Amino acid sequence: MNHLDATFAALADPTRRAILARLIEGEASVMELAEPFAMSQPSISKHLKVLENAGLISRGRDAQRRPCRLEARPLGEANDWLERYRKVWEGNFQRLDALLGAMQAKKASGDAEQ
């Protein structure tokens, strides 16, 4: 699985997205990350492993604690990939706006003639 596939696969789960959202605030232990969820510590650890394998988080060592921290690079790569499509969508919307504007102008000029 390439990096982009791993990133999107990891982001597909709402629990993993919530974990990443928490890590935006700063590093946290597994227990701190598990607090808001009604699941066991081994279940949270599985989610963390998916995030770690995707390169979205890293784990440090601080005495007995292994804090998790967000790694932004894979999210940046996913954003770059999505950005190309955003530009396509914007172009499509601009063409649609122009078409609708032309249709409205034509209708308005037709209404004025009557």
The parent domain of residue 109 ranges over 73-114
Q: Is 7 in contact with 52 (CB distance < 8 Å)?
A: no
- Number of domains composing the chain: 2
Residues 49 and 96 in one domain: no
Residues 6+ apart with CB under 8 A from 84: none
Residues 34 and 58 in one domain: yes
- Token readout for 44 is 């949270």
Helix axes of 3-11 and 41-53: crossing angle, nearest 10 degrees: 150
Looking at residue 39, the DSSP 8-state letter turns out to be: S
Residues 33 and 22 in one domain: yes
Mean pLDDT per block of 10 residues along the chain (114 residues) reads 90 97 94 90 93 94 84 93 90 90 86 70
Q: What is the CATH number of the domain that holds 60?
A: 1.10.10.10
Q: What pLDDT does 71 receive?
A: 96
- This prediction's pTM: 0.75
Residues 89 and 112 in one domain: yes
